[in-house]
């Protein structure tokens, strides 16, 4: 399957030890096609909330930056894997910046989904979502539960589901296995 | 006060805060400052304002189910303040385009935990849904909403708290009732509930492109 990985921080020195790089390599070993984005090295603007991507140039953001490539990669993937550091109890602003620039992938129109109003689909298919977080010294179970819930909400709004939520403390091979074992059921 | 809307001075968040401040100033003359978090070159100013304040109100729209990235960026700037004993009391205002206040509740939990992290007193969180179109709505539609924010400002000036009755009234329905949902689904399925978006699409001569899928493989 095609997998898009968004990692919030990859530095040159991390190449051998970073979980994101290890997961990339594990997926490739299993024959998957991985599209990898180190968000901290990409040119991505903050969403300015103009909604031009819904009402002026539907499906396309006013900013012509690396999010165009990321949106194209993810909407043509079967899985979107987000790997991010927790900062002040939630995933980093680097990832959040990318998340909100994904709204061109949705339609402005509203639909009733699971008893709530949500934006409608623009595309027929959306990638499944997996999230792996790097915890802080003071991260507790309550934090992880809240973060997981917020990503479940994100998945609901992006017409998909959160199939794996893990921390970097878990074994990379197990995370990879868990993600891959979900594939035959849902993809 | 920190306005965390990516639209800054042209935001719905500002509109709501303007009424809150108007009410506040009828009681208090104490100085306050309004900072716009979209001005991402003003980190030092933001941090100094936080350090020097007794009370901080952080207001923003719900963005992809959480705080906007510029707000998260600001929160990350506060890391050195973790656990200090002299941090300001913090209150939050979340407005969103979704009608149900329940969609913002998940983030409210995070904000409460954030105040614990900062060892800051928690003033409360005001949640208001259905706020996307308020700039276009006639005054008769927004009169009650703006009056509520005005009264909230007065009560905050008097008590250093968000009045729970006003907070509850602003939150409105947590979830849509099944009858509301039935009609919303009916109108949505018939394409009759998209007036706001259709108006904008037509104004921009983009109606014919509304279902565009530019990133689909091959496009």
Of A93-102, B1-10, B183-192, the one with minimum mean pLDDT is: B183-192
Q: Which residue has the higher pLDDT, B136 or B84?
A: B84
Q: Would you state the structure tokens that stand for residue A180, as one six-digit string?
A: 């891959």
Task: Specify the pLDDT at position B190.
Answer: 72
CA gap A138, B122 in Å, rounded: 20
Contact status of A90 with chain B (Cβ, < 8 Å): yes
3 state SS of B15: helix
The three-class DSSP label of residue A3 is strand
B191 to chain A: closest CA residue: A109
Q: Where do the structural domains in chain B lie, given as residue ranges?
A: 2-175, 177-219
How many separate domains does chain A show?
A: 1
What is the C-alpha separation between A50 and B124, in angstroms, rounded?
A: 29
Task: List the 135-174 stretch of B: residues with Cβ below 8 A of A.
Answer: none
Write down the pLDDT at residue B139.
Answer: 82
pLDDT computed for residue A12 by the predictor: 60
Strand, helix or coil at A67? helix
**pLDDT tens digits along B57-73:** 999 999 999 999 999 99
pLDDT of residue A183: 57
Residue with tokens 């149900």, as numbered in its chain: B100
A64 in contact with B, Cβ within 8 Å: no
Contact in structure between B13 and B95 (CB atoms under 8 Å): yes
Distance from the B15 Cα atom to the nearest Cα atom in chain A, whole angstroms: 15
* pLDDT tens-place string over residues A127-180: 999 999 999 999 999 999 999 999 999 999 999 999 999 999 899 999 999 998
pLDDT tens across A24-65, in order?
A: 999 999 999 999 999 998 999 999 999 999 999 999 999 999
Tokens of A40: 């901290």
Task: Test B209 with A50 for CB contact under 8 angstroms.
Answer: no
A173 or A10, higher pLDDT = A173
For residue B13, CA distances in Å to A5, A93, B5, B208 come to 33, 20, 6, 31
Q: Coil, strand or helix: which one is B197?
A: helix
Number of H helices, E strands in chain A: 6, 8
Q: What is the pTM of this model?
A: 0.93
- pLDDT tens-digit map of B2-51: 999 999 999 999 999 999 999 999 998 877 899 999 999 999 999 999 99
A110 and B CB contact within 8 Å: yes
Element housing A81 (H / E): strand A79-87
Q: How confident is the model at residue B181, as a pLDDT? A: 76
A100 touches chain B (CB under 8 A): yes
Long-range Cβ contacts of B77-81 (<8 Å, 24+ apart): B77/B43, B77/B46, B77/B47, B78/A88, B78/B47, B78/B50, B78/B118, B79/A87, B79/A88, B81/B50, B81/B51, B81/B118
Please determine, for residue A186, whether its predicted confidence score (pLDDT) is greater than 50.
no
A137 touches B at CB < 8 Å: no
Q: Does residue B185 sit at the A interface (CB-CB below 8 Å)?
A: yes
Q: What is the overall mean pLDDT for chain B?
A: 91
Print burial letters for A127-158: b (CB count within 10 Å at least 16), e (below 16). bbbbbbbbebeebeeebbebbebbbbbbbbbb
Instruction: Looking at the complex, report in whole angstroms how far the Cα of residue A47 sits from the nearest Cα belonging to chain B.
Output: 7
Of residues B8 and A16, more confidence is placed in B8
- Summarised one tens digit per residue, pLDDT across range A114-125 is 888 889 999 999
Query: By residue range, what is the domain housing residue A97?
Result: 2-186
Q: How far is CA B90 from the centre of its chain?
A: 15
What is the domain-level CATH number for residue A172?
3.40.50.360
What are the Cα distances from residue A60, in Å, to A106, A157, B68, B196, B206? 10, 18, 19, 19, 12
CATH of B2-175, one of 3.40.50.720, 3.40.50.360, 3.20.20.80, 3.40.50.200: 3.40.50.360
CA gap B128, B62 in Å, rounded: 10
- In DSSP terms, A128 is beta-bridged to A79
Q: Is A186 near chain B, with CB under 8 Å?
A: no
Q: Which residue of A has its CA nearest to B60?
A: A49
**Among residues of chain A, what percentage have pLDDT more than 90?**
81
Mean pLDDT of B134-157: 90
The reported pLDDT for the residue numbered A187 is 41
Q: What is the pLDDT of residue B100?
A: 85
pLDDT at B189 exceeding the cut of 90: no
Q: Do the Cβ atoms of B64 and A110 come within 8 Å?
A: no
For residue B41, count CB atoms less than 10 angstroms from its CB and return exposed for 0-12, middle for 13-18, buried for 19 or more.
exposed
- How far A150 CA sits from the closest chain B CA (Å)? 6
- CB within 8 Å: A75 and B184: no
Query: Cα–Cα distance between B117 and B110 in angstroms, integer?
Result: 10
**Taking residues B141-156, what's their average pLDDT?**
93
């Amino acid at each position: 399957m095609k997998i898009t990985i968004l990692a919030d921080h990859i530095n040159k020195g991390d190449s051998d030890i970073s979980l994101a790089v290890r997961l990339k390599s594990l997926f490739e070993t299993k024959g998957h096609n991985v599209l990898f984005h180190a968000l901290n090295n990409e040119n991505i603007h903050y969403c300015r909330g103009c909604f031009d991507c819904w009402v002026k140039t539907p499906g396309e953001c006013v900013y012509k930056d690396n999010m165009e490539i990321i949106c194209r990669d993810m909407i043509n993937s079967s899985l979107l894997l987000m790997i991010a550091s927790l900062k002040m109890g939630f995933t980093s602003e680097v990832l959040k910046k990318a998340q909100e620039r994904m709204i061109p992938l949705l339609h402005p129109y509203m639909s009733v989904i699971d008893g709530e109003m949500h934006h409608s689909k623009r595309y027929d298919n959306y990638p499944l979502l997996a999230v792996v977080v790097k915890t802080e010294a003071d991260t507790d179970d309550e934090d992880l539960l809240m973060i997981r819930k917020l990503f479940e909400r994100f998945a609901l709004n992006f017409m998909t589901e959160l199939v794996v939520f893990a921390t970097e403390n878990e074994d990379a091979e197990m995370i990879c296995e868990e993600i891959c074992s979900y594939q035959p059921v849902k993809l | 006060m920190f306005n965390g809307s990516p639209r800054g001075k042209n935001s719905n968040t500002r509109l709501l805060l303007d009424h809150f401040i108007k009410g506040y100033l009828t009681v208090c003359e104490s100085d306050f400052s309004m900072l716009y978090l979209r001005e991402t070159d003003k980190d030092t100013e933001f941090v100094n304002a936080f350090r020097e304040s007794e009370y901080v109100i952080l207001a923003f729209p719900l963005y992809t189910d959480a705080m906007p990235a510029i707000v998260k960026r600001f929160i990350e700037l506060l890391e050195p303040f973790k656990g200090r004993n002299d941090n300001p009391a913090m209150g939050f205002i979340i407005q969103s385009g979704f009608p149900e206040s329940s969609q913002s509740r998940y983030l409210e939990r995070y904000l409460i935990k954030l105040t614990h992290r900062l060892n800051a007193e928690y003033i409360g969180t005001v949640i208001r849904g259905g706020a996307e179109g308020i700039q276009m709505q006639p005054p008769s539609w927004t009169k009650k909403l703006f009056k509520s924010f005005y009264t909230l400002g007065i009560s905050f000036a008097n008590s250093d708290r968000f009045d729970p009755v006003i907070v509850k009234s602003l939150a409105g329905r947590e979830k849509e009732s099944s009858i509301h949902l039935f009609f919303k689904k009916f109108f949505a399925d018939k394409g009759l509930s998209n007036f706001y978006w259709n108006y904008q699409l037509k104004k921009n001569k983009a109606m014919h492109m509304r279902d565009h899928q530019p990133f689909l493989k091959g496009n």
